[in-house]
Amino acid sequence: MKGYMIVLLMNAFIMHAAALPAPFDHSDTTISVPAGGNTWCIQCDEDNNLISNKGIQHWTQQETGFETYIRVNKTGSLKIGINAKTDKASVLRLSVAGSSKNITVKGTAFKVYDAGTFEIKDTGYIKIAVSGKQKKGAYFADISAFELSGTAINEHTTFVKNNEGNFFYWGRRGPSVHLNYPFADSIKAEWFYNEITVPENQDVVGSYYMANGFGEGYFGIQVNSASERRILFSVWSPFSTDDPKSIPQDMRITLLKKGEGVHTGEFGNEGSGGQSYLRYNWKAGVTYKFLLRGQPDRNGSTIYTAYFFAPERGEWLLIASFKRPKTNTYLRRFHSFLENFIPEQGNKTREVLFGNQWVCDERGTWFELVNAVFTYDNTAAKKYRMDYAGGVENGRFYLKNCGFFAGFTPYKSLFLRKANMQIPGVDFKTLP
């Protein structure tokens, strides 16, 4: 038997550790999975700082655990090493594919500890769970990475490989997915109508279910926290910047009107422009209607106005109307998307249904949109995350992301839903 038995006296108790693991054997082809971009904290406070770009840090509570995910495209053996350190000595428990092993970590310098070999019997995402069993010092361990090898590991193993381009942040947020609705170039689209249903138990905190995307902005609903939900409508400035204060006066978005209770202001970071939102406790399982107008004003600007139909109130609500300068266009580039905007929520699956899409031209003629093209963001394109999907479900388009489910949908997949042949019952003259 390699190693030796140790007994650590800890004030009022004795820690019985298993044989100290041998140093990790690098003879096989090994990949290093950074904890900072691939790990989530379980049973943590919302404001915890246990996961940074350096990995797992400041881990003191035994009830706290961590989950790291990789995706494999072949079965076989999975050998795991943990690159870790601690202030004195700790016993960690590592669980993979239904099996668990204890690992003793001892030493204040990072070192790769052999955590054993596990049998992987299916392809797809694998969860590597780490929990704390015992500790002699102030904290269980700092973990910077997991060193993986074995026959289940190859060049196609999927994970966030590095933090270039801030991808530890983007990777933990998860992939954003989109539906693009094509329509004839000859249509002067003044109105865009769409419907959203978030299925029950799919209203995950950090989700943005965007219904009416267009060339210059977007309009949808969010779950901002456990106690707050919003209807959000934004229009980008024609001046390209992430700093709204740098936009020249003649290129700023102008608010023309807004609905009761609607907050308005500027936004930045991912482009800049005018933003509006209404705090509204929308419900999962209920279908909500979205109506967007894009109207050139013949003076070099386009006016964008967003309306939300609240079935709980039985009426259309005005969200806001913005004027975008140096723009002379009807609505274009219709799309919807689903994204998670809180990295700590990137390990939770969410889904949304989009149904009954219509466009109305400047003469009042309606056209039904029954086709959608599926796309995704750079996180998915780099194959850092592959938990994304889209398709048609019971006559409606759907999008799904995050949570490390098994399947994924190819880029630019084309979907066709059954036509409803029922024009939306919107009386434009009575809109607020």
Phi, psi of 37 (to 5 degrees): -115, 0
- Please provide the average confidence, as pLDDT, over all residues in the chain: 92
pLDDT at 269: 58
Last residue of a domain, one of 126, 159, 192: 159
- pLDDT tens digit sequence for 45-104: 766 789 999 999 999 999 999 999 999 999 999 999 999 999 999 999 999 999 999 999
pLDDT at 242: 76
pLDDT higher at 46 or 405? 405
DSSP codes, 348-369 = S-EEEEEEEEEEEETTS-EEEE
CATH at residue 125: 2.60.120.260
- pLDDT tens digit sequence for 393-402: 999 999 999 9
pLDDT tier, 243 (very low <50, low <70, confident <90, very high otherwise): confident
Same domain, 217 and 134: no
Same domain, 185 and 134: no
Q: Six-digit token pair at 389?
A: 């999907």
Q: What whole-number distance in Å separates Cα of residue 138 and Cα of residue 302? A: 61
Decide if 70 contacts 85 (C-beta within 8 A): no
Taking each continuous run of H as one helix and of E as one strand, the counts in the chain are 3, 31
CA atoms within 13 A on the CB side of 280: 27
pLDDT at 263: 97
Q: What is the DSSP letter of 38?
A: H
Tell me if 112 is assigned to some domain. yes
Average pLDDT over residues 2-30: 43
Is the model's pLDDT at 19 over the cut of 50? no
Which region among 15-19, 46-50, 93-97, 280-284 has the lowest average model confidence (pLDDT)? 15-19
Domain that residue 238 falls in: 173-430
Is the model's pLDDT at 21 over the cut of 90? no
pLDDT tier, 12 (very low <50, low <70, confident <90, very high otherwise): very low
At residue 396, the 3 state secondary structure works out as: strand
Q: Six-digit token pair at 63?
A: 């009830």
Average pLDDT over residues 276-285: 98
Q: Six-digit token pair at 9?
A: 């006296």
Same domain, 238 and 361: yes
Tell me if 166 is assigned to some domain. no
Same domain, 145 and 235: no
Same domain, 299 and 410: yes
Q: What whole-number distance in Å separates Cα of residue 391 and Cα of residue 372? A: 9
Is the model's pLDDT at 207 over the cut of 90? yes
Same domain, 278 and 356: yes
Same domain, 56 and 188: no
CATH at residue 212: 2.60.120
DSSP codes, 74-136 = S-EEEEEEEEEE-SSEEEEEEEETTEEEEEEEE-SS-EEEEEEEEEE-S-EEEEEEEEEEEES
61-70 b/e (C-beta count within 10 Å ≥ 16 → b): eeebbbbbbb
Q: What is the DSSP letter of 341?
A: -
pLDDT tier, 240 (very low <50, low <70, confident <90, very high otherwise): confident
At residue 68, the 3 state secondary structure works out as: strand
| Short-list 46, 55, 53, CA closest to 345 | 46
Using alpha carbons, list the distances in angstroms from residue 362 to 158, 370, 428: 48, 20, 12
Reported pTM = 0.91
Is the model's pLDDT at 409 over the cut of 80? yes
Same domain, 207 and 153: no
Same domain, 292 and 365: yes
At residue 317, the 3 state secondary structure works out as: strand
Q: What whole-number distance in Å separates Cα of residue 141 and Cα of residue 157? A: 26
The count of domains in the chain is 2
Tell me if 123 is assigned to some domain. yes
Q: What is the DSSP letter of 345?
A: G
Tell me if 2 is assigned to some domain. no
Tell me if 256 is assigned to some domain. yes
Is the model's pLDDT at 268 over the cut of 90? no
Same domain, 47 and 100: yes
At residue 170, the 3 state secondary structure works out as: helix
Same domain, 279 and 198: yes
pLDDT at 245: 80
Tell me if 1 is assigned to some domain. no
Same domain, 402 and 359: yes
- pLDDT tens digit sequence for 122-168: 999 999 999 999 999 999 999 999 999 999 999 999 999 999 999 99
Is the model's pLDDT at 5 over the cut of 90? no
pLDDT at 44: 86
Tell me if 18 is assigned to some domain. yes
- Of all residues in the chain, the percent with pLDDT exceeding 90 is 85
Average pLDDT over residues 296-308: 97
pLDDT at 13: 32
Last residue of a domain, one of 134, 159, 184: 159
pLDDT at 241: 79
